[in-house]
């Protein structure tokens, strides 16, 4: 499910707050994460109004919208296993996932948005788009920070991952 407090931390005044309204909810995207939200997420909706990503009126009106359907389409999903390990890069903490034969990192602040989910990924060259599922339904997408090769594989094997 979506952790509203964690998602609200990502919604900023100067952020790329794209909102795609649907009948039963809305998609929020900031360029690095996409989250499927419903209209009872009061904290998220309130924050979107405060940063002027949504306008009030007869109906909600997004300041910025886009067709996110291509982002939702995927073929070749494979299981993604979240490990117990993290990697630090400057001031960013990355959660390490094993996907296929490689390890990928995803910014922890984006991973914290999703709770009690299962993960799959779609690999496209050096990129692995992480997909969060809850109750059998896709609820989010996260773009990876980087791929790690042999150096992290050996390190993870030594740690017993």
Q: What is the pLDDT of residues 86-122, one digit of tens each?
A: 988 888 898 999 998 888 889 999 999 999 999 999 9
Q: What percent of the chain has pLDDT over 90?
A: 47
Shortest CA distance to 97 belongs to which of 105, 89, 86? Answer: 105
pLDDT value for 143:
86
pLDDT at residue 152 greater than cutoff 80: no
b/e sequence 82-114, b meaning 16+ C-beta within 10 Å: eeebebeeeeeebbbbbbeebbbbbbbbbbebb
Which residues are registered as beta bridge partners of 26? 21, 37
pLDDT at residue 26 greater than cutoff 70: yes
Is the pTM value of this prediction over 0.85? Answer: no
Distance of CA 115 to the CA centre of its chain: 11
Mean residue pLDDT of the chain comes to: 85
């Amino acid at each position: 499910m979506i952790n509203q407090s964690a998602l609200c931390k990502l919604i900023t005044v100067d952020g790329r707050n794209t909102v795609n309204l649907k009948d039963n909810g809305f998609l929020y995207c900031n360029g690095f994460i996409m989250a499927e939200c419903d209209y009872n997420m009061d904290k998220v909706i309130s924050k979107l109004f405060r940063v002027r990503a949504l306008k009030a009126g007869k109906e909600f009106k997004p300041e910025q919208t886009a067709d996110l359907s291509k982002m939702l389409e995927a073929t070749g999903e494979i299981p993604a296993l979240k490990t117990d390990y993290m990697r630090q890069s400057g001031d960013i903490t990355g959660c390490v996932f094993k996907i296929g034969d490689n390890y990928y990192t995803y910014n922890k602040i984006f991973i914290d948005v999703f709770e009690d989910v299962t993960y799959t990924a779609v690999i496209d060259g050096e990129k692995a788009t992480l997909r969060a599922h809850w109750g059998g339904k896709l609820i989010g997408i996260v773009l990876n920070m980087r791929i790690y090769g042999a150096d992290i594989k050996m390190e993870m094997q030594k740690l017993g991952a």
